[in-house]
Chains A and B, each alone.
Chain A
Amino acid sequence: EVQLVESGGGLIQPGGSLILSCAASGFTVSSNFMNWVRQAPGKGLECVSLIYSDGTTYYADSVKGRFTISRDNSKNTVYLQMNSLRAEDTAVYYCARVAGDYTDGWYFDLWGRGTLVTVSS
């Protein structure tokens, strides 16, 4: 079955660190662009980080310098290392596979169920 399963969320104090994992099955993460998208409680969706198939990475301004995306090809898993966490980082974090191309545009065709990160003292 083609799916993504996130883990690693939890309650963390401001300034703390957390590592999220996204385990893929049914396809190879290293052959795809993989994204982390977050959704604050009752709010909309925000893309925070992307890793291209060639390993190049992208970060939204809101997390640049604090978050690091990576992947382990042997485990077919994508990670999000989150440092210096702030209250405004509180959200459900989804792992999503990117689809599309320069003709259709880029969108997200496969999502995990998400993992909740709560930053609070």
Chain B
Amino acid sequence: DIQMTQSPSSVSASVGDTVTITCRASQGISNWLAWYQQKPGKAPKVLIYSASSLQSGVPTRFSGSGSVTDFTLTISSLQPEDFATYYCQQGNTFPRTSFGGGTKVEIK
């Protein structure tokens, strides 16, 4: 199975900061990576698919990059509503897909 490793597991940031989250796959997954945002008590919401494609309706301050094994989610100009937990998900071995362990973005 492909293991997805996210770092950091948590990050403290202030409104207006730029936050970068990384996700590493244990083997190559081309660009078949998605990013999700989850707020407490809510379902995950897809932000990015195909490593860098912005899901419709998602603010442009969210961006994704990377390929093969190393991927990045960048949140520019962090807003109060962005404090949440973020997960990466590989779709290369679908349906045996897998998620990263999550990165919690907290208020500094």
Contact = CB atoms under 8 A, between A and B. Distances in A.
A, B bound: yes
Contact of A50 (B33, B45, B95): B95
Contacts of B34: 105, 107-108
Q: Is the interface of A mostly helix, strand, loop or mixed?
A: strand
A94 B99 CA distance: 14
Nearest to B45: A111
Interface in A23-59: 33, 35, 44-47, 50, 58
B54 to A, nearest CB: 12
A113 B43 contact: yes
B2 interface: no
Interface in B27-65: 29-34, 36, 42-46, 49-50, 53, 55
A45 B91 contact: no
Nearest to B4: A44
Contacts of A60: 96
Interface in A53-109: 58, 60, 94, 98-100, 103-109
B91 A105 contact: yes
A60 B98 CA distance: 11
A69 B55 CA distance: 28
Interface in B65-91: 87, 89-91
21 contacts: A33-B95, A44-B99, A44-B101, A46-B99, A47-B96, A60-B96, A99-B46, A104-B49, A105-B29, A105-B49, A105-B50, A107-B34, A107-B46, A108-B34, A108-B44, A108-B46, A111-B44, A112-B43, A113-B42, A113-B43, A114-B43
Interface of B: 29-34, 36, 42-46, 49-50, 53, 55, 87, 89-92, 94-102
Interface of A: 33, 35, 44-47, 50, 58, 60, 94, 98-100, 103-109, 111-114
